[in-house]
Structure 1
Amino acid sequence: MAEWSISSGRTQHRSIRHSQVPVLRQLSIAMVAADLVVRDLVFGLLLGCVFSVVAHGLNIIWGIVKVINIAHGEFIMLGAYGAYFLNLFAGLTPLEAAPVDAAIGLLVGYAFYYTFLHRELRDKETITLQSEMVTLAATFGLSLFVSNLAIILFTGNPVGINYNPGTLQFGYLHVPLAALYVAILSVLIITGTWLFLERTFIGSAIRAYAQDVTATELVGANPAKVASLATALGFAVTMAGGALLTVWIPVGINPLMGALYAPISFVIVVLGGPGKMWGSLVGGLTLGVVIDVVQAFTTVEIAYAAAFLILIPVLVFRPEGLLKR
């Protein structure tokens, strides 16, 4: 009888140990899954920050000058190549190249305005359908010209920048410092443009132009100069964003990269709302998280498709964007 009790006790103890194995395995899987979700959220937010600044230039020009720049992606590409050559010949990191790209973007933006937009916009109190069609056609032609010229000058071979200042560790989470620095600078750029528009006289003139062209003269500013400055500011931010984007595409700088990032920028601006400066950040963070989380469970192609599908319910239920003024 005693032997039976001891044997049955051992059997019971062994069965308990075996029954605990699936529970421990499930707990381990849950912990790993939680770590992966946290990682995807963090990397999605970091990616969203650089997406935000890449789209911010389009948001400025679209929201203020009321022109949709079809060539936006090509100037992201030029900003990326600018950072590449500054790194190649001057040893600048993408973060150091961004201000140089921004300065070049200012000049390019002024030239762009007076070449393609000034004649159509200078004498009009409101943007007409004809003006919209003319500017769309002009920027579409510019897009084709710049992309084909880039193929001739840079060839189709992708290049990249090797920038790796290390990682920051939070438990099991390793965050690349390059991505963190880019995210911080991206937020600072968006904050800086908001402060410029909200806290300066020139900024108030630009906001007046966005509301009503004739109101610009009431605050003592020249509408053409205000529109040209807003366009130049948009190009400066766009090319700086192209420089920062190179951190995320170490071997992806190529003449056709604008074909991907122009639609992404368009979706971000629509998500946040054209002309809403913080809308760029809201739209970018939303898109970045969606892409990174969906990509973790599917493929890159499905992740980007899911990001673009977000546009449909937003256009149906909140056509003014996710962010209120």
Structure 2
Amino acid sequence: MDFAWVSFANSLVLGLSIGSIWLIAALGLTIIYGTAGVINMAHGEFIMLGAYSAYCLQAFLGVPFLLCLPLSFVIVGLIGLVIERVLVRYLYARPLDTLLATWGVSLVLMQGIRIIFGSEPKYISMPEFLSSNLMLGPLSLSSFRIFLMVGAVLLVGATWYLIYRTHFGIKIRAVTQNKEMAASFGINSSRIYMYTFALGSGLAGLAGALFAALNIVLPTMGAGYVVESFLVVVTGGGALAGSVAAAALMGEIQSVFAFFFNSTFARFLLFILIVIFLRFRPQGLFAAGATRR
């Protein structure tokens, strides 16, 4: 196969892995925004907390990397639950206040981690089987990026099952569509919001644990993912299927443009395309089937 075509094929695979990273980062935000309409500005810091949770578990307790993933989900999910009960629960009817409050939470979390752990980068180790490359014909694939793509598929599948195939998911969809009507059937919307916020926070923590193996762990690392997370959610329309489609498209566009130009210019072009798309379709790829009340 011609070298140029091999490089282009590798860039397409890289685009899927980039889209998987953005999707994993955006999954928790999709759930929180899609259910409660909360724009969680602390989402990037929840990702950062997941990375530091994995670091602490591995550095101080010797927990294997794969076991750090579910434990980080639980730890950050509990932190999110506390923040929701203490602060966010009082602001659901005030979107601007929620935006400012969660931004304040993000600053507190970032500075708190900096005080506790300092600003020096931290590192965690991966299993050996995730540190190698796999050769599929002429294509060279990173084992960890394949792991991320498989993980994204599993997380989306689990989230879809929870929302569309469980009793709890029925309550989530009922509250999302009409919380007053849901309350008339005995559904406690406040409790649903609490569990949903905790679930979204836990997914952000799981994403952070995964990204801790991909990059260095820093108090400011969440800022590197939060912009793309919001773009995935907004471009997808706030729906799970929309976020999947948006992440895949954005990842491929970013990778293909980077193949022909460079990564910085590719990101610039990607943002321009998103702005143009939202100008003509502000509801996103998948418009919500019902209006949140």
TM-score (norm 1): 0.82
Cα displacement string for residues 276-297 of structure 1 (whole angstroms, at most 9, x for unaligned residues): 1122221222222222222334
Q: 2:161 aligns to what? A: 195
In terms of mean alpha carbon deviation, does 190-199 or 83-92 score higher? 83-92
Q: 1:290 aligns to what? A: 253
Q: Tell me which of 80, 86, 98 is aligned to 1:109.
A: 80
Q: For the structure 1 residues 95 and 269, does the alpha-carbon distance in structure 2 shift closer, same or farther, using more than 3 Å as the test?
A: farther
Q: 2:43 aligns to what? A: 72
Contact 2:70 2:206 in 1 (8 A): yes
Q: For the structure 1 residues 305 and 81, does the alpha-carbon distance in structure 2 shift closer, same or farther, using more than 3 Å as the test?
A: farther
SS of corresponding position for 1:175: strand
Q: Superposition pairs for residues 1-325 of structure 1, below 5 Å?
A: 31-121=2-92, 127=93, 131-163=94-126, 164-165=128-129, 166-249=132-215, 252-274=216-238, 276-323=239-286
Structure 1 runs, 4 residues or longer, greater than 6 Å off = none
Cα displacement string for residues 252-279 of structure 1 (whole angstroms, at most 9, x for unaligned residues): 32111122211110011112111x1122
Contact 1:273 1:321 in 2 (8 A): yes
SS of corresponding position for 1:320: coil
In terms of mean alpha carbon deviation, does 154-163 or 188-197 score higher? 154-163
Deviation, 1:144, is 1.1
Q: For the structure 1 residues 146 and 231, does the alpha-carbon distance in structure 2 shift closer, same or farther, using more than 3 Å as the test?
A: same
Contact 2:163 2:170 in 1 (8 A): yes
Give the aligned residue type for 1:292.
S
Deviation, 1:324, is 5.4
The number of residues matched between the two structures is: 285
Q: Distance in 2 between matches of 1:65 and 1:147?
A: 24
Q: For the structure 1 residues 235 and 38, does the alpha-carbon distance in structure 2 shift closer, same or farther, using more than 3 Å as the test?
A: same
The answer for unaligned runs of 5 or more in structure 2 is: 289-293
Deviation, 1:118, is 1.6
Cα displacement string for residues 182-222 of structure 1 (whole angstroms, at most 9, x for unaligned residues): 22112111111111111111111111111111122234311
SS of corresponding position for 1:310: helix
Contact 2:65 2:125 in 1 (8 A): no
Contact 1:206 1:216 in 2 (8 A): no
Cα displacement string for residues 153-208 of structure 1 (whole angstroms, at most 9, x for unaligned residues): 22222233332422221112121222112221121111111111111111111111
SS of corresponding position for 2:213: coil
Contact 1:95 1:244 in 2 (8 A): no
Q: Distance in 1 between matches of 2:4 and 2:194?
A: 50
Contact 1:103 1:236 in 2 (8 A): yes
Q: Distance in 1 between matches of 2:64 and 2:254?
A: 26
Give the aligned residue type for 2:251.
G
Give the aligned residue type for 1:154.
F
Q: For the structure 1 residues 92 and 34, does the alpha-carbon distance in structure 2 shift closer, same or farther, using more than 3 Å as the test?
A: farther
Deviation, 1:92, is 4.1
Q: Distance in 1 between matches of 2:213 and 2:108?
A: 26
Q: Distance in 1 between matches of 2:77 and 2:64?
A: 20
Q: 2:291 aligns to what? A: none
SS of corresponding position for 1:169: strand
The answer for unaligned runs of 5 or more in structure 1 is: 1-27, 122-126
Q: Distance in 1 between matches of 2:140 and 2:17?
A: 13
Deviation, 1:50, is 2.2
SS of corresponding position for 2:135: strand
Deviation, 1:304, is 2.6
Share of identical aligned residues, percent?
33
TM-score (norm 2): 0.90
